[in-house]
Amino acid sequence: MMAALDGNLPVRAAAIGDLIMGLARISEPDRPYTRRAFTPLFLEGRAFLAAAFRAAGLETRIDAAGNLIGRRRGKKAGLGTIMLGSHSDTVPEGGRFDGIAGVAAALAVARALEENGVRLDHDLEIVDFLAEEVSIFGVSCIGSRGMAGVLPDGWLSRQAGELTLRQGIIEAGGDPSRLAVSKRTDIRAFLELHIEQGPVLEAERCDIGLVTAIAGITRVEIVVEGRADHAGTTPMGRRIDALAAAARLVTGVETIARRLSDGPTHFTATVGEFSIEPNAANVVPSRARLLIDARAEDRARMDSFLDAVRALVGAVMAETGAEIAAPKVISDNPPTPSDLILIDALDTACMQLGAKRRRMASGAGHDAAWMARITRSAMIFVACRDGRSHAPDEWADTDDITLGAAVLYEAVRRLDKTLQEIGTDGTYS
């Protein structure tokens, strides 16, 4: 399909491929592809990106939260900003495309507008958010939370060795003392392209995923108390085995999650952390702890999951005699639906370009979820090979990213007009 389309696309593939491979070279040599936020390598990658931003004719700066921003002025001052972007930091031994594809695609849009002699009415900004991945400070999405004015105060004094997050943001060129007053109110729309990090688009031979929502994430801890006894002398009928009870919870959670995922909206639940005590061969386990990560596109489904887990706990207690405290919700972030006007513009752009698209939710968190706090926000996905991500063999074809960039380009041109027609409804400022 690409061969037919490529010649007619408004953005150029070569520059996208060059930017991605250029950044890939700035990686820990023994641990490809590692460029974690708050390291000298990250700043080297940033310098490379800033040079590419300037070469595309963008005015380049770092904002208070340490985000790299390139700006292209619009014709009508005061209309506000359309923003495109993603992140350039990686997880340890991550890939070349997670985040980076979105920055490259955004920059390709700015470059194409320049080359095609198109001047928007709105200002256009390309952003590389600081530290989207869980960083050395143990938290994620620092730049986008900062831009949205929702970076928790206490986080700035978090430490990684000698370094505080406050100092880390300063070293990235930001100014944490201005965070409280630098929340953006001028952004009219934010669009992010990202690799899917899952197998669906490739399997369905789809070009573009229109992201309907970023799933909410709820983490639930369950602690099971049994009784430590001699594993050889305590008869099977007279023991309270915390692990045997916890195992029923794990399989029960999986059964509930399979049922809830069998529907039109996204749902997953995973027991990803598990520990037992005393964890010794000849002792009946006295205690087990498990942590559930549950993700839902709609709140009602999450609520039915939590109800079902509570019922499961009651049943396992009755069956095993173990003491199980009520499931404890450790964190609970609601789902973020995409803005319908933006999805409509992206959908129309796909149609215009002949791109095959499908609607889907994002099971992973993204900067776009934080941007949704201050503006209309939406995402598109492009396919990645075998759904692999957060690993060195993560791969997305330049042609697929280029088609995604073309979708952004056409959507931005459309939104430049549409957003003026609907005006500022005040919802986000």
Can you give the binding site for Zn ion, defined by CB under 5 A? 98-99
What is the Cα–Cα distance from 304 to 334, expressed in whole angstroms?
A: 14
- Closer to Zn ion by CB, 244 or 379: give it: 379
Going by the DSSP 8-state scheme, the letter that residue 334 receives in this structure is: P
Least gap, CB of 86 to Zn ion (angstroms): 6
- Closer to Zn ion by CB, 394 or 399: give it: 394
Least gap, CB of 389 to Zn ion (angstroms): 8
- Closer to Zn ion by CB, 87 or 357: give it: 87
- C-beta separation of 265 from 360 below 8 A: no
What is the Cα–Cα distance from 282 to 373, expressed in whole angstroms?
A: 53
Least gap, CB of 99 to Zn ion (angstroms): 4
Helix (H) or strand (E) holding 43: helix 40-55
Least gap, CB of 46 to Zn ion (angstroms): 16
Residue 9, token pair as written in the block: 């696309």
Dihedral-angle region of residue 279 (phi above 0 means left; psi in -120 to 50 means alpha; beta otherwise): left
- Closer to Zn ion by CB, 341 or 364: give it: 364
What SS3 state is found at 267? strand
- C-beta separation of 405 from 109 below 8 A: yes
DSSP assignment string, 335-368:
PEEPPHHHHHHHHHHHHHHT--EEEEEESS--HH
- Closer to Zn ion by CB, 99 or 226: give it: 99
| C-alpha atoms less than 13 angstroms from C-alpha of 342 in its C-beta half-sphere | 26
Q: What angle do CA 146, 152, 155 make, to 5 degrees?
A: 95
Least gap, CB of 130 to Zn ion (angstroms): 13
Least gap, CB of 330 to Zn ion (angstroms): 23
- Closer to Zn ion by CB, 100 or 112: give it: 100
